[in-house]
């Protein structure tokens, strides 16, 4: 027990203990354990613990190990009942229990498999498939998705949307997204197919009941639409191997989930929903961030025709970035000397379920860190940038997302998101087009959509009480006798500190810069508060109308920056329960409730605050994204501003040929570096 | 001769020939050869030649080899006369000759050395230095800069601004920027010190004549301000070696200046002013870009107090990115298997001057290119991204800039600029501060400034006649009965094509996307014109007042995007001659002149057009940028949009452990990849 850190995910033993405690509560009821995960200790307790830890006194008292457990049981009235519990593992005690009426758990993949089976074996579905008169050799694939609320139905029970595709090749890895069918079915909670209809296949079409035979002209060459090497022509052979060798081993060390690298220390966490989380991030012993994580992502489609507005995925809240994390050894996702972290999820009966290699940790060379040549002497000093990468990859049906934290020797952090995988497709008549999609193959429409991520930044810049400063660069007035600017070239910075919780926007035209500062700690050289600035990813915010369900359910997508007071239960800016949600539970509703509550403090100045950065991309597909898209990269940065006494990487050793062993391509001779 | 490509820079032999022809013209006059460089052939001729080359007929007729020569001679009237000539090398003939009255050549470093010497040995300067009562062991350093026009003086002759610093350590690589002195001197064309005065050292001070003794409290520990390893404490020893091994050699090949790599072909060029230029960039034989280059950069300072408005550097037009390119072997700037390109400049007497290793060419692994895991089978397909890097680095006094073109297997191009080196400093009284600078050490102010680059994009998307399309993503109206958008989630793209030359701005809030398209070539799958889109670097534009000389001289800094018709002599968006320029010669003046000329065609639709992207950063220094700044990266992208038939990198071989040879960090065991 003493080896477990309060931030460490639950061990298999702890999962078993939690299951046991909960099962006692639901004897005879066969609870479906949706998740058993760590409930991170209250921050106030953790801050005190981290301080004791820092002083070597962590044995004195440790926060309780609490499990958050979500179960579904069939209640007396026959319907499913969602219950969330907190279990104090070591005391074997249920310390909190809450029935969530009207809320849904996240996607149950076993249930979705049952939906798929119920759908494909439904008589009416089989009949409609026959009417399609599909080509010889076709096999139909059903892909159930969660139903994104559109206001057309009662959301109190689950409804699954079944989208239909087909394969023509007899290969389970054939890209069925290349053959979207115009069939659609809805499946009820009870696994009954309640509706079957046909999808619109042109701009003016609407949902219809009448089947149309599948247009054989849609059948196209597999070369256009297949990505799997077993189906593709032989790959190019021009690319020669490129290997990374680290002859003296890795620079980072790990001790359990503690990672130490080049003055950085941090703890790796992982949970079913956020995937990779990072905790207690320090540089040279100084506190920087209490916690960093992806807190939500939303992928709404922009096709207005029913039922496509039901395609809008919360890939964290609905699916779980942890649950859907790839096993990273299977496919050579990382280069060099690699450390993998496993995670533990649970089965529906509450047994521990190992998820191997969900996080990889490795280093990369990132080019030149800094350089100066004294032109007077010709002496050049070059230092190369080594970065530490902590990476995870998720697959959510058709799409993949790569999430990576990069740590620099200059005390910078970058969060890189890459979108790859396969576009979601819909049927379209040959020769047609629509104003909200791209035709990527005969009969295949790739609808416009957005990817909107929320990076949750819980700072602790030299301590927990921080402020958010907004700084802009403005020209000094020209021609104003009271302001000295005789040549019209002067400019200055204007700053204000955000007082209360709210949403804010980016403006590069004013060089608007958001800095998280500690007003109680002043840099003695610059005489300004110590801080870290956000290097944002400039992105279009949600396009859906504010009154739409897309907007009401994804409140965080309204602004690029949010600042809130820290609360132990506020992790998810679209709300705790996103499946078939109705809105009103996200970050702006939370802020509004507090603003309207006279007993609530909404001050975010010199307080324990959280910053949420919304970023992403408006993805209007291009043919180059088909059949699988080259990754599109989105980057967010966090950089020190007047936090240190100078360049934190000043002491990194100069780049030398002895270490680097570069060679000349013509002769394979080693490169001569004058600095040696 | 037949081996020389029309895009190849002049060979030493050609330089000698050009010199000979020009010397004949200036017999007895000892011309100072400022530059002898290739005048690239007229584009119409080159397009025809490239076509013949493509067909294997390049022997038929080749464009003439023309040298652009700039000389300064002492004219009869005694003043310096700047002349520009074009020499047809093979015909030994001067085909153009122009005296540039009122214009200046770029910085002559030999002349600047003479300025430095004249300044430091001037009696009045020596007297003022004595009055400073500098600390024991101090040696004074004079750093002459070009005088950025401020309207205070006649600009027809050169005036150099001499900024003063000191070293306290007896080491030629000591960072004298850590000790800015409040002395300033102006040196005339004739190398006479015309003025000596003292700089303002607080917000309300102005230029003054009276000396003040140097404040000994400004003397600070060298650990705070030194970067050179010979002066720094011992470097950290924690960073373990990281090497790149390419056991089968490089994937790229070079033949002269022709680079071939992964379906890419391009020609490397180089000149004194732009540095690295890329020509005839093709992918899979298809024409993409005729030419890519950095065309100017401007670094204006935002300190309003005289004489600091005279600090505003055109590092291309004034200094020359080619002339100031680093010799890249000296310092381990590149990792892996490297190809270096040399360049040839000339001495003042017209002899060829070798500049070795000014461009390096190498590959890098850039993470995952694309990935998909079929959740139904669990089969993962991962392809890693290999990129080709062509890089050059310049040193301009205190600053360094790294310029790199990155080519991807997905047919993307990225242009990365990194700023590093040492902040320019000015004196400040201890305890003081100003609204337009950061105190980085006792008595050391790092004034606010901007870096504004212009990337010149000369497209040839499937041919020379292109258009610039501006596309935005807009919500469909909600509640408008004539527009089908019942759920309020629909959105569409609206595009317009730019008709005439002009400047445009970025707007991420509308996802405004600039695409260079060929309206005559339609993608048969998407039914849209083939094109490449710009992935811009969102940056604040120039802060200086439009009426200031900074603004008038750097017209391109007003807008993020410019589109012009191609003209053989339009390469420089701030004008051909930037030294002590007066304004009115940049891109917007050129456009205005054409707009007002009824004989001029200003159409940019289906025309030979050029796109210029202004980007950079408003740099308000932080202490972490001192004494040498960790590189700040700015990235611009160019990506195909509906140019190909699908993902261009679909045929890249999957990532395998056999090729990659990754290892587990704990055990050094090879990683097991299921795909093998």
Q: What is the DSSP string of A220-231?
A: --HHHH--STTT
Contacts of A272 (CB under 8 A, 6+ apart): A35, A37, A106, A320, A322, A323, A345
- Output the pLDDT for position B672: 65
Interchain CB distance below 8 Å, A409 and B244: no
**Rama region for B477: left / alpha / beta (φ>0; ψ in -120 to 50; rest):** beta
Q: Judge whether residue A289 has pLDDT over 50.
A: yes
Out of A487, A540, A644, closest to residue B511 by CB: A540
Q: Is the pLDDT of residue A329 over 50?
A: yes
* Nearest beta carbon to residue B239 from set A151, A647, A653: A653
Mean confidence (pLDDT) of chain B: 95
Query: Residue A87: CB partners within 8 Å, gap ≥ 6?
Result: A17, A18, A21, A22, A66, A67, A69, A93, A94, A95
Alpha carbons B393 and B417: distance in angstroms, whole number? 10
Element (H, E) at A640: strand A629-641
Residue A447 to residue A428: CA distance in whole angstroms: 10
For residues A288 and A273, the answer to whether their CB atoms sit within 8 Å is no
Query: Looking at per-residue confidence, does B329 or A540 come out higher?
Result: A540
10 Å CB burial of residue A285 (0-12, 13-18, 19+) is exposed
Residues of chain B numbered 217-276 and touching chain A (CB < 8 Å):
224-225, 227-229, 232-233, 235-252, 262
Q: How far apart are the first and last CA of chain B?
A: 51
pLDDT per residue over B436-484, tens digit each? 999 999 999 999 999 999 999 999 999 999 999 999 999 999 999 999 9
Catalytic, A111? Answer: no
Give, in order, the Cα–Cα distances in Å from A385 to each of B239, B358, B359, B388, B419: 10, 21, 20, 19, 14
A213 class by beta-carbon count within 10 Å (0-12 exposed, 13-18 middle, 19+ buried): exposed
Closest-CA distance of chain A to residue B107, Å? 15
> Using a CB-CB distance cutoff of 8 angstroms, which residues of chain B are in contact with residue A246?
240-243
Catalytic, out of B88, B122, B280, B315: B315
* A-interface mutation test, from B475, B513, B665, most A Cβ less than 10 A away: B665
Element (H, E) at A115: helix A109-120
pLDDT in tens, A556-601: 999 999 999 999 999 999 999 999 999 999 999 999 999 999 999 9
Q: Of the listed A122, A315, A458, A462, which one is catalytic?
A: A315
Where residue A516 falls among pLDDT bands split at 50, 70, 90? very high
Which of B486, B511, B624, B641 is the best residue to mutate to test the A interface, defined by the most A CB atoms within 10 Å of its own CB?
B624
Q: Which pLDDT tens digit goes with each residue over A662-671?
A: 888 876 667 7
Say yes or no to pLDDT of A60 above 80. no
Angle between helices B123-132 and B109-120 (to 10 degrees): 60
Residue A2 has pLDDT above 70, yes or no: no
Per-residue pLDDT at B332 exceeds 90: no
Q: Is the pTM of this model over 0.90?
A: yes
Nearest by CB: A236 against B506, B523, B653: B653
Burial B209-218 (b: 16+ CB within 10 A, else e): eebeebeeeb
Q: What is each CA distance from A257 to A63, A341, A345, B497, in whole angstroms? A: 17, 8, 17, 54
| pLDDT for residue B78 is more than 90 | no
Residues of chain A found within 8 Å of residue B224, distances taken between Cβ atoms: 525, 645-646
The answer for A 304-363 residues in CB contact with B (under 8 A) is 304-306, 309, 312, 326, 329-340, 361-363
Give me the residue from B373, B395, B651 closest to A375, CB to CB: B395
In Å, how far from its chain's centre is CA A672?
44
Torsion region of A527: left, alpha or beta (phi above 0 gives left; psi -120 to 50 gives alpha):
left
Q: How confident is the model at residue A84 (pLDDT cuts 50, 70, 90)?
A: very high
Chain B neighbours among A 132-171 (CB < 8 Å)? 150-151
Q: What is the per-residue pLDDT across B44-74, written as a single tens digit (0 to 9) for each?
A: 999 999 999 999 987 878 999 999 999 999 8
Residue A79, pLDDT score: 80
Return the minimum-mean-pLDDT range out of A98-112, B47-61, B122-136, B326-340.
Answer: B326-340
> Which of A646, A658, A660 should be substituted to probe chain B, the one whose Cβ sees the most B Cβ atoms within 10 Å?
A646
- Indicate the range of A184-188, A413-417, A542-546, B150-154 predicted with least confidence: B150-154
What number of residues does chain B have?
676
- With CB atoms and an 8 Å threshold, state whether A618 touches B412: no
Measure Cα distances from B351 to A21, A159, A600, B19, B249 in Å: 88, 81, 78, 8, 37
Pairing between β-strand B379-396 and β-strand B32-39 as defined by DSSP bridges: unpaired
Cβ pair B379:A228 closer than 8 A? yes
Is the Cβ of A303 closer than 8 Å to some Cβ of chain B? yes
Are residues A243 and B245, on separate chains, in Cβ contact within 8 Å? yes
B556 is catalytic: no
Among A533, A503, A493, CA closest to A516: A533
Is the pLDDT reported for residue A674 higher than 80? no
Instruction: Give the per-residue pLDDT at A667.
Output: 67
Which CA distances in Å does A392 have to A268, A365, A572, B595, B672?
12, 19, 19, 54, 17
Distance from CA of B91 to the nearest CA of A (A): 35
Give the 3-state secondary structure of residue B665: coil
* A75–chain B nearest CA distance, Å: 32
pLDDT per residue over A120-147, tens digit each? 999 999 999 999 999 999 999 999 999 9
Long-range contacts, stretch A442-445, CB < 8 angstroms, 24+ apart: A442/A217, A442/A218, A442/A219, A442/A220, A443/A179, A443/A180, A443/A215, A443/A217, A443/A218, A444/A177, A444/A178, A444/A179, A444/A180, A444/A218, A444/A225, A445/A180
Torsion sign, CA atoms A598, A603, A609, A613: positive
What pLDDT is stored for residue A28 in this prediction?
Answer: 87
- pLDDT over 70 at B193, yes or no: yes
- B337/A665 CB distance under 8 A: yes
Q: Quote the CA–CA distance of A6 and A90 in Å, as a whole number.
A: 13
pLDDT number for residue A78: 75
Banded pLDDT at A1 (limits 50, 70, 90): very low
- Please answer yes or no on whether B372 and A478 come within 8 Å at the CB atom: no
Decide if B510 touches A, using CB distance below 8 A.
Answer: yes
pLDDT value, residue B676:
42
Taking the Cβ of residue A552 and every Cβ of chain B, the question of whether any pair is shorter than 8 Å is answered with: no
Closest CA to B24 of B94, B119, B72, B123: B94
The interface residues of chain A toward chain B in range 640-659, judged by CB-CB distance below 8 A, are 640-657, 659
B616 and A CB contact within 8 Å: no
Which pLDDT score, from 0 to 100, does residue B61 have? 87
Long-range contacts formed by A473-480: CB under 8 A, 24+ apart: A473/A510, A473/A511, A473/B448, A473/B540, A473/B543, A473/B618, A473/B620, A474/A510, A474/B543, A475/B543, A475/B544, A475/B545, A476/B304, A476/B436, A478/B545, A478/B547, A478/B548
**Which residue does chain B place closest to A509, by CA atoms?**
B540
Angle between helices A109-120 and A123-132 (to 10 degrees): 60
Residue from A399, A401, A415, A566 carrying the catalytic annotation: A399
Catalytic entry in B197, B214, B399, B566 = B399
Confidence label for A476 from pLDDT (cuts 50, 70 and 90): very high
Q: What backbone phi and psi angles, to 5 degrees, belong to A590?
A: -60, -45
Helix-strand-coil percent breakdown of chain B, rounded to 5?
Answer: 15, 40, 45
pLDDT tier at B1 (50, 70, 90 boundaries)?
very low
Averaged pLDDT, B311-337:
90
- In Å, how far are A514, A542, B212, B469, B582 from B510, measured between CA atoms? 22, 10, 56, 14, 37
CA atoms within 13 A on the CB side of A86: 11
Q: For residues B259 and B256, give the distance between their C-alpha atoms in angstroms, rounded to a whole number.
A: 8
B674 — pLDDT class (breaks 50, 70, 90): very low
Specify the 3-state DSSP secondary structure of A538.
coil
**Contact list, A243 vs chain B (CB under 8 Å):** 244-247, 659-661
Nearest to A304 among B332, B420, B485 (CB): B485
Instruction: Find the closest chain A residue to B264 by CA distance.
Output: A238
- Chain A residue with the nearest C-alpha to that of B305: A485
Please report which confidence band the pLDDT of residue B666 belongs to, taking 50, 70 and 90 as the band edges: confident
pLDDT band at residue A31 under the 50/70/90 scheme: very high
| Tens-place pLDDT, residues A158-189 | 999 999 999 999 999 999 999 999 999 999 99
Q: Mind listing the pLDDT tens digit for each residue in A385-417?
A: 999 999 999 999 999 999 999 999 999 999 999
Can you say whether the dihedral through the CA atoms of B363, B369, B373, B374 is positive or negative?
A: negative
**Cα distances (angstroms) measured from residue A456 to each of A319, A563, B449:** 18, 10, 32
* C-alpha distances out from residue A23 to A35, A94, A349, A350, A603, Å: 13, 11, 9, 9, 42
Percent of chain B predicted with pLDDT > 90: 92
Q: What is the DSSP string of B44-71?
A: HHHHHHHHHHHTT-TTS-----EEEEEE
A514 contacts A468 by C-beta, under 8 angstroms? yes
Give the C-alpha separation, A644 to A72, whole Å: 50
A373 touches chain B (CB under 8 A): yes
Report the length, in residues, of chain A.
676
Peptide bond into A627 cis (omega under 30): yes
Using alpha carbons, list the distances in angstroms from residue B650 to A77, A237, B462, B525: 54, 13, 21, 17
Which residues of chain A are within 8 Å of residue B237 when distances are taken between CB atoms?
Answer: 653
- Give how far B280 is from chain A: nearest CA, Å: 22
Share of chain A above pLDDT 90, in %: 92
């Amino acid at each position: 027990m003493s080896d477990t850190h309060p931030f460490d995910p639950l061990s298999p033993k702890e999962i078993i203990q939690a299951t046991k405690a909960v099962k006692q509560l639901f004897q005879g009821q066969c609870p479906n354990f949706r998740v058993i995960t760590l409930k991170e200790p209250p921050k106030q307790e953790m801050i005190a613990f981290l301080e004791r830890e820092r002083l070597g006194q962590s044995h004195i008292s440790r926060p309780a190990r609490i499990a958050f457990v979500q179960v579904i049981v069939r209640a007396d009235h026959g319907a499913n009942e969602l219950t969330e519990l907190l279990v104090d593992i070591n005391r074997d005690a249920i310390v909190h229990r809450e029935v969530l009426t009207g809320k849904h758990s996240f996607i149950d993949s076993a249930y979705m498999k049952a939906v798929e089976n119920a759908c494909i074996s439904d008589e009416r579905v089989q009949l409609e498939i026959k009417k399609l008169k599909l080509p010889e050799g076709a096999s139909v694939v059903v892909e159930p998705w969660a139903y994104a609320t559109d206001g057309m139905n009662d959301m109190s029970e689950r409804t699954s949307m079944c989208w239909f595709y087909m394969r023509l090749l007899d290969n389970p890895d054939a890209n069925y997204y290349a053959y979207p069918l115009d069939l659609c079915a809805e499946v009820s909670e009870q696994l009954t197919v309640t509706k079957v209809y046909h999808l619109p296949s042109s701009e003016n079409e609407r949902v219809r009941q009448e089947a149309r035979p599948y247009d054989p002209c849609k059948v196209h060459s597999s070369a256009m639409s297949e990505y799997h090497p077993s189906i593709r022509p032989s790959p190019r052979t021009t690319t020669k191997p490129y290997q990374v060798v680290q002859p003296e081993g890795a620079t980072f060390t790990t001790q359990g989930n503690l990672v130490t690298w080049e003055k950085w220390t941090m703890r790796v966490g992982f949970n079913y929903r956020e995937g990779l989380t990072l905790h207690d991030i320090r540089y040279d012993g100084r506190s920087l961030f209490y916690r960093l994580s992806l807190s939500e992502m939303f992928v709404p489609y922009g096709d207005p025709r029913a039922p496509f507005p039901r395609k809008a995925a919360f890939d964290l809240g609905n699916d779980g970035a942890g649950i859907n994390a790839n096993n990273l050894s299977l496919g050579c996702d990382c280069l060099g000397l690699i450390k993998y972290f496993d995670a533990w999820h649970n089965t529906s009966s509450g047994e521990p379920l190992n998820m191997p290699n969900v996080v990889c940790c490795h280093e990369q060379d990132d080019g030149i860190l800094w350089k100066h040549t004294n032109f007077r002497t010709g002496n050049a000093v070059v230092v190369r940038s080594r970065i530490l990468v902590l990476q995870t990859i998720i697959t959510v049906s058709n799409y993949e997302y790569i999430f990576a934290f990069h740590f620099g020797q200059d005390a910078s952090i970058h969060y890189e998101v890459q979108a790859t995988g396969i576009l979601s497709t819909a049927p379209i008549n040959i020769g047609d087009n629509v104003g909200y999609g791209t035709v990527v193959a005969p009969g295949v429409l790739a609808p416009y959509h957005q990817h909107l991520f929320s990076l949750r930044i819980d700072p602790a810049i030299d301590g927990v009480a921080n402020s958010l400063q907004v700084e802009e660069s403005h020209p000094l007035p020209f021609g104003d006798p009271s302001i000295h600017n005789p040549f019209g070239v002067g400019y200055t910075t204007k700053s204000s500190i955000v007082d209360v919780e709210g949403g804010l926007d980016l403006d590069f035209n004013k060089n608007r810069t958001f800095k998280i500062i500690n007003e109680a700690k002043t840099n003695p050289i610059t005489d300004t508060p110590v801080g870290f600035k956000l290097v944002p990813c400039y992105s279009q915010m949600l396009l859906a109308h504010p009154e739409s369900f897309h907007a009401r359910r994804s409140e965080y997508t309204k602004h690029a920056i949010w600042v809130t007071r820290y609360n132990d239960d506020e992790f998810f800016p679209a709300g705790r329960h996103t499946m078939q949600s109705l809105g009103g539970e996200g970050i702006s509703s939370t802020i509004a409730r507090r603003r309207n509550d006279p007993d609530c403090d909404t001050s975010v100045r010199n307080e324990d605050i959280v910053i949420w950065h919304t970023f992403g991309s408006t993805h209007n597909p291009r043919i180059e994204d088909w059949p699988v898209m080259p990754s599109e990269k989105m980057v967010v940065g966090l950089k020190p501003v007047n936090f240190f006494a100078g360049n934190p990487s000043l002491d990194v050793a100069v780049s030398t040929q002895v270490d680097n062993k570069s060679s000349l391509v013509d002769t394979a001779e080693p490169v001569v570096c004058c600095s040696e």
